[in-house]
Amino acid sequence: MGKIICAGLGPGAPDLISVRADRLIRSSRHVAYFRKKGKLGNARRIVKDMLPANCIEYAMEYPFTTELPFDSPEYIARLAAFYDDWTERLADLAGSTDVVVLCEGDPLFYGSFMHLYIRLQGRVEVEIIPGVPGMVGCWNVTNLPMTWGDDVLAVLMGTLAEDDLVHHMYGADALVIMKTGCNLPKVRRALERAGRLEDAWLVERGTMPGERIARLAEVEAADCPYFATVLVAGHGRRPEAAE
């Protein structure tokens, strides 16, 4: 009887993987990971120099990417069937051997693995190894002290409505906005309305080859990098305020 172990890969640099996950990946015999059809996949790219030669790979390819609207019944049903299918396959495999599932960032923080995880409950043992979330890698490469003292941090998705974004941006001290892509012009307008655009950074492929860090206000409005995170640091209570 084996188990399923989901290894958080962290933000992208292979040596930012935890010692526990690094050891596991280097000794794995069965490895599964999500990717878009026709792509190598970012999770697989991160571990490219780590997998043993005799390791068997399972690429879990999303059935579609952008052809269907997110909230259409067909999108929802097809994605559910995809997760159901891989749940069966991984559970079968784990009947006889350990299976490592690779997951960028931290598996329980907006991770696709969670859709398998809730389906696997009660069927097979699942272990999760935490990872450094992508946003943490991004604020580190930006050298941005992110949250201080009593700061409130809000993590927002660029897919939210502009008014909702503005509302949350007003309420919090430090901001992370993920899933930007072609929502970036909207995110930018929202930050401007909330008076936070001047302090906003755009980080693309943080800690990875091709990393790019820019002030959001200086980025072309038509530029919509997909793997990009927007950061605004907090400014809470600091002892130096007394100096």
**What residues between 10 and 39 interact with its own copies by CB under 8 A?**
10-11, 13-20, 22-23
Residue with smaller CB distance to its own copies, 79 or 214? 79
Q: What is the closest distance, in whole angstroms, from the C-beta atom of residue 6 to its own copies in the complex?
A: 10
Q: Which of residues 71-100 bind its own copies (CB under 8 A)?
A: 71, 73, 76-77, 79-80, 83
Which residue do the tokens 């026709």 mark? 38
Q: Which of residues 179-198 bind its own copies (CB under 8 A)?
A: none
Residue 68 in contact with its own copies, rule: CB under 8 A? no
213 Cα distance to chain centroid: 18
* Position among 2, 41, 130, 181 found at the interface with its own copies (CB under 8 A): 130
End-to-end CA distance of the chain: 62
Residue with smaller CB distance to its own copies, 180 or 207? 207
* Position among 46, 103, 128, 190 found at the interface with its own copies (CB under 8 A): 128
Residue with smaller CB distance to its own copies, 33 or 113? 113
* Position among 148, 181, 189, 211 found at the interface with its own copies (CB under 8 A): 148
Residue 67 in contact with its own copies, rule: CB under 8 A? no
5 forms bridges with which residues in the sheet?
100, 127
Identify which of 168, 165, 176 has the alpha carbon closest to the alpha carbon of residue 200.
176
Q: Which of residues 200-239 bind its own copies (CB under 8 A)?
A: 207, 237-239
By the 10 Å C-beta count (0-12 exposed, 13-18 middle, 19+ buried), 181 is classed as middle
Q: What is the closest distance, in whole angstroms, from the C-beta atom of residue 220 to its own copies in the complex?
A: 26
222 Cα distance to chain centroid: 23
Q: Which of residues 35-64 bind its own copies (CB under 8 A)?
A: none
Residue 140 in contact with its own copies, rule: CB under 8 A? yes
101 forms bridges with which residues in the sheet?
6, 32
Q: What is the closest distance, in whole angstroms, from the C-beta atom of residue 162 to its own copies in the complex?
A: 14
In total, the chain counts a number of residues equal to: 243
Asked whether 28 and 102 are in contact (CB, 8 A), the reply is: no
Asked whether 191 and 216 are in contact (CB, 8 A), the reply is: yes
Enclosing H/E stretch for 166: helix 162-171
